[in-house]
Amino acid sequence: MSKVWRLHTKPKVSVKNKLETKVANELIKRKIVAIGWTLREDIYNELTATGKNELEEDEKSIKDDFEKYKKIIEKNNYETIKGEKKSFFYGKVNPNLIRLNNLKKDDLIWIRSKGKYHLGRVTEKSHYLYAYRDSQKNSDILKLGINNQFTDIDWCEVGSESDIPGRILIAFYQKGTLIEIDEESALNISQIIYNKKDNYYKISNKLENNKTNFYSLLSPNDCEDLLYFYLYHKFKYIVIPSTNKINTQNYEFIMLNSNNRDEKIYIQVKNGEVNIEINNYKNFRGEIYLLTTRGNVLKNGKILTKNNIDMDNGKILNLDGSFKGNIFIINPEALYEFAKEAYKDETILMPQSILQWFKYLEEEKE
């Protein structure tokens, strides 16, 4: 089965040379995926002239043989100026390189360059290549830190952030140079998007119209907007725009009750398997609305049971006197149903940034 990956394109060497903004474009131009951990960094400058010559001869032997690269890394007898014997990268091959070497035909890789997102497919010709070059023609490889390559990638430009499914965007927030986005919905939507190029994957170009797939398409900002328009539609609450620019851990923005401007409404949104602890809201006066699309709402680290929730409106019951406001849990299923209703009913306010994702979901039968 194919996999989908996300690659950060800032090797340390490129950052050192202030060339990190050029890496992604170089990958696209050369039709490769590539990462750092080259043998001209780490201990290279510590080596004696003899040690450097030995390494350079070893480098030439690698070509497209990853096992030879591994042997060089694990080798512990390169001579240093201080008279020591050392190995590269403490004798351990970086896990990102192992993942790079294990890419398979029809895997997909996402990268980002200057606000534009690109999707590449591993082809039947793709293979590992250690691009050792001293020639002027290929000098950029050393400066950019892209010696470890996987070749013959078929790239296509997808668009800007507003065109990218939420689960893919979230992967770019995560650490790690090369990571698998290990969710079926992420693979499915990536194949569908790639199929816009040449209809390569023999799959349905629609996802099942369900809650899981819907939220996988929404970005964190989309989820915030969706909850806002839901509360506006239901209660006519109005957002205070400036509060959406405040960097807080416990809420995304503040709204006001249009019938009582002194009543504040706080919003917290988590898209994914993220839990929310209500004890963080003890000192909030007003109403607090919590949404986690696949996580749980906790009290003292324990999941709230149905006995503690008014199932009609989501209000949390049995709060002690230390809580100064009312806390409500938004049902992600209800919010999903509201979005479907808005897609069909143009009288319901909803931004196109959310509605656009329904084109990837199967139309429901009447």
Q: Tens digit of pLDDT per residue, the chain (366 long)?
A: 899 999 999 988 898 889 999 999 999 999 999 999 988 889 999 999 998 988 888 888 898 999 999 999 988 788 899 988 899 999 999 999 999 999 999 999 999 988 999 999 999 999 999 987 554 555 688 889 899 999 999 999 999 999 999 999 999 999 999 999 999 999 999 999 999 998 999 999 999 999 999 999 999 999 999 999 999 999 999 999 999 877 888 999 999 999 999 999 999 999 999 999 999 999 999 999 999 999 999 999 999 988 899 999 999 999 999 999 999 999 999 999 999 999 999 999 999 999 999 999 998 665
CA dist 103 and 183 (Å) reads 17
CA dist 123 and 252 (Å) reads 42
What token pair was written down for 224?
């915030």
Strand partners, 269: 291
Mention every residue, 6+ apart, whose C-beta is less than 8 A from residue 76.
85, 86, 87, 91
All domains in the chain, ordered by first residue: 4-37+94-198 (3.10.590), 217-334 (no CATH)
What is the pTM assigned to this prediction?
Answer: 0.90
Contact of 251 with 239, CB cutoff 8 Å: no
51-102 pLDDT, tens digit per residue, is 898 888 888 889 899 999 999 998 878 889 998 889 999 999 999 999 999 9
| DSSP state string for 89-144 | GGG---HHHHHHHT--TT-EEEEEETTEEEEEEE-TT--EEE----SGGGHHHHHH
Dihedral of the CA atoms 174, 175, 181, 185 (nearest 10)? Answer: 0
Q: How close are the terminal C-alpha atoms of the chain, in Å?
A: 34
Token pair 């091959």 in the structure block, residue? 93
